[in-house]
Amino acid sequence: MRSALAVFFTLLFIPCLATAQIQLPPVASPIKKIPIAVAVLKAKGDLSVYGKNFTDVLKNDLTNAALFDVRQVNILFSSSFEDIDFEYLDAQKTRYLVSGNFDISPREVSYDLIVYDVPSRQERMRRRYVTSPRHIRNVVHKFAGELMRELTGLDGFFDSEIVFVRRDGHGSDLFIMDYDGHNAKRLTNHGSSVLSPDCSPDGSQVVFTSDRSWDHDVYLLNFKATRLPAEGNRITRGIHLDNSPSWSPDGSRVAFSRNGDIYTASSSGEILKRLTKSPAIDISPTWSPDSRKIAFVSDRAGAPNIYVVSSDGGRAVRITSEGYNTDPVWSPSHLVNRIAFVKVKKSEADIYSVGPDGRGQQRLTSSGRNEHPSWSPDGHYISFSSKRLGKRQVYIMYLNGENKLPLSRGKNDSFSTWCVK
Return the pLDDT at 131: 93
- Predicted TM-score (pTM) above 0.85: yes
Do 254 and 265 form a contact (C-beta atoms < 8 A)? yes
Contact criterion met (CB below 8 Å) for 139 and 5? no
The model's confidence at residue 346, banded by pLDDT at 50, 70 and 90, is confident
- Is the pLDDT at 24 greater than 80? The verdict is no
CB proximity list for 231: less than 8 A, separation 6 or greater: 188, 189, 190, 212, 219, 221
Q: Which CATH number fits domain 5-152: 3.40.50.10070, 3.40.50.1220, 3.10.20.310, 3.10.290.10?
A: 3.40.50.10070
Is the pLDDT assigned to residue 5 strictly greater than 50? no
* DSSP 3-state of 329: strand
Q: Tell me the sheet residues that pair with 91.
A: none
Beta-strand pair 405-406/391-398: antiparallel
pLDDT tens digits, one per residue of 176-187: 999 999 999 999
Q: Where residue 20 falls among pLDDT bands split at 50, 70, 90?
A: low
What are the pLDDT digits (tens) for 211-249?
Answer: 987 788 999 999 988 899 999 999 998 888 999 999 999
- Chain length of the chain: 421
CATH classification for the domain delimited by 161-419, as one of 3.30.710.10, 2.120.10.30, 3.40.50.300, 3.60.15.10: 2.120.10.30
On the CB side of 209, how many CA atoms lie within 13 Å of its CA?
Answer: 22
Q: Where are the domains of the chain?
A: 5-152, 161-419
Which residues does residue 26 pair with via DSSP β-bridges, in sequence order?
none
Looking at per-residue confidence, does 148 or 72 come out higher? 148
What does DSSP say about strands 405-406 and 122-131: parallel, antiparallel, or unpaired? unpaired
Q: Are strands 293-298 and 282-287 parallel, antiparallel or unpaired?
A: antiparallel
| pLDDT score recorded for residue 6 | 37
Residue 45 has pLDDT above 90, yes or no: no
Say if residues 341 and 322 touch (Cβ distance below 8 Å).
no
Per DSSP, the residues of 267-280 read TT--EEEE----SS
Same CATH fold assignment for domains 5-152 and 161-419: no
- Residue 72: the pLDDT is 74
